[in-house]
Amino acid sequence: MSPSSCETCGKCPISGNPMAAAQMSGADILVQSLVCAGVSTIFAYPGGFSIPLHQALTRFRDKIRVVLPRQEQGGAFAAQGYARVTGKIGVCMATSGPGATNLVTSIADAKMDSIPLLAITGQVGLAAIGSDAFQETPMTELCRGITKHHYLVTDVHDLARIVREAVFIATTGRPGPVLIDIPRNVQVSQCEPDFQAPLNLPGYNDGYAAKQPPKDKLDAVVEAVKKAKRPVLYVGGGIIASDAAAELFQLAEKTQIPVTTTMMGLSAFPRDHRLSLGMIGMHGTAYANWAAHDCDLLLALGVRFDDRVTGRAAEFAKHATIVHVDIDPSEINKVKPAAIAMVCDVKAFLAELNADLAAFKPVAEIKDWHRKIEQWKSELPLQYDVGSPHIVPQYAIEQLWQATKDRETIIATGVGQHQMWTTQYYRFSKPRTWVSSAGLGTMGFGLPAAMGAKLACPDKLVVDIDGDGSFLMNIQEMATCYCEKIPIKAMVLNNQHLGMVVQWEDRFFQSNRAHTYLGPIENPETFGKGVGISPAERYPDFVAIAKGFGWEAEHVSDKTQLAAAIRRMIDSPGPYLLDVLVPYQEHVLPMIPAGTTVQDMIHR
């Protein structure tokens, strides 16, 4: 459809939404293009070089909700939260200079975790680029290594096509972030947009499309499954991204193969299922790690053999025939050579494999494998001091799970010990209910990500499990939640320390505290023990801060009062913060130190 026919029918050729006049500004073209792409929410913070874009958004307020974060990074993490729970593209926008650079961490985070994110930045006018103009930053250069693709728009006529391409690239194949940097003069320039201009993507028809599994390799996988006596399914974020959880469940039930997930794969397989091994890796379950070590067939689906999973890569699954299936060819043989490798859509692969195994019967030896795994589960369970008189973090997370397991709940986290304990003790059962920064490990992620998740899923309970250090990094987004009426809940496990670094200090640096205590007291050893500390002694006072932002909030330090406090939090109609005092001496166990093997696992 040509621009003239758009003018005639008055409808967008893609979405069917009413169109503006044939002559449109670059800013209006951008926003209309987002509407055409199905975008209904954008997290955007205005500035001098994005004013035209924000003015255009006001003209489309019946089509796109604009959420004003209190810092650009918070908005970008919120866009990620939105994307992670829906599978749709998350969109954020900032002005040039410091506004744009505040997006960089979230862009890198989305790249590491394969999240579809569109980051739009204002830029100085084309004539000023390269002159060190006020608030000029070369965003395409800064983001070259952390985006799936990036654009500097130099001609308003290209803008509609570029937005279509950007959304397509971000959401197709292996998802990822795309940047569009728009100079101010392009934003105000006028043209007749072509909303169906051909996409300018080399290899577009076959390079980005989801590939089907090759028949000969699929047959080889079928034979490997039939022969395996100690198989393991090792699955990651690719299962979530391709919406393949149902196919994974079918395969596991059919073949009786135990399932372990990466951190990104959590929620892809029900944790309470008898075939679940939980998470694998540095802080994964002991039995998942031992199963990967001893298996004879490793079906690696939608994973990248991250170093936090493999440890010393040469020793990981060294006895196994490795089958690696991934949509991204760059991941194949990057860390571990695969006996059978397929570059294809993992959902399509699982559907074909399930069909080919329709008459499959597990070998008799699989029962011996199950018995061995049950022995490991019995001998090496996840455990903590259940008799502690204090609220230990593991107990707090278990209590939250008990209180929320029967309702639709999404859990977000920051990064640190609380994140790892959540992977261990919150038993996820449905895909897209887990939102956390895995590959980049970005503190400050939890609160804004929960905010985006709640906007995407307003009928679901959304809880941010956070640590005091991580929560402080984007605490300003409490204002966004209040002003935008986003009723998320935050359970802050407050130990007055940077807990994960403290754990490493304890394990490898003779407990020498090197700037990991977060309070103002000269002798940190007198604090954070969970004994005799009143709310007035905590620093900062999260409850006072929360109330200043308009949230309901309370402290809890008495173990007998925790369950009731959690109930008050999740039943509250608005945003609610629960500040839970926990001892800082707790360690996340088991632990496989970086670069070592399962034989070096620390249990206590």
Residue-wise DSSP of 146-172: T-SEEEE---GGGHHHHHHHHHHHHHS
DSSP state of 127: G
24, 193 contact by CB (below 8 A):
yes
Element (H or E) spanning 182, and its range?
Answer: strand 177-183
Element (H or E) spanning 299, and its range?
Answer: strand 297-301
233, 257 contact by CB (below 8 A):
yes
E strands, 87-159, are: 90-94, 117-123, 149-152
- 3-state secondary structure at position 67: strand
Q: What is the pLDDT of residue 286?
A: 97
Task: Delimit the domains of the chain by residue range.
Answer: 3-199, 215-379, 393-581
Q: What is the pLDDT of residue 538?
A: 81
Taking every pair of Cα atoms in the chain, the longest distance, rounded to a whole number of angstroms, is 75
The C-alpha atoms of residue 522 and residue 176 are separated, in whole angstroms, by 45
Q: What is the pLDDT of residue 523?
A: 58
**Token pair 């489309």 in the structure block, residue:** 60
The C-alpha atoms of residue 422 and residue 401 are separated, in whole angstroms, by 10
Q: In degrees to the nearest 10, what's the CA dihedral of 200, 204, 207, 211? A: 160
Q: What is the CATH number of domain 3-199?
A: 3.40.50.970
Q: What is the pLDDT of residue 17?
A: 54
- 3-state secondary structure at position 380: coil
Q: What is the pLDDT of residue 4?
A: 31
215-379 fold: Rossmann fold (3.40.50)
Q: How far is CA 491 from the centre of its chain?
A: 19
pTM: 0.94
Q: In degrees to the nearest 10, what's the CA dihedral of 443, 446, 452, 454? A: 180
Q: Which two tokens mark 383?
A: 């455990």
- 3-state secondary structure at position 278: strand
Would the CATH topology of 215-379 be identical to that of 393-581?
yes
- Please name the amino acid found at residue 280: I
- CA-to-CA dists, residue 235 to 53, 252, 260, 261, 286, angstroms: 41, 11, 6, 5, 17
- Please name the amino acid found at residue 586: E
Beta-sheet pairing, 117-123 with 90-94: parallel
CB atoms < 10 A from the CB of 385, how many?
A: 12
418, 466 contact by CB (below 8 A):
yes
From the options 3.60.15.10, 3.40.50.10710, 3.30.70.2860, 3.40.50.970, give the CATH code of 393-581: 3.40.50.970
The C-alpha atoms of residue 516 and residue 529 are separated, in whole angstroms, by 15
Mean pLDDT by groups of 10 residues along the chain of 604 residues: 36 52 90 97 98 97 97 98 98 98 98 98 95 93 96 97 95 96 97 88 62 91 97 98 98 98 98 98 97 98 96 96 96 96 95 96 94 97 95 98 97 98 98 98 98 98 98 98 98 95 95 89 52 64 97 96 98 98 94 95 92
**What are phi and psi for residue 69, nearest 5 degrees?**
-75, 170
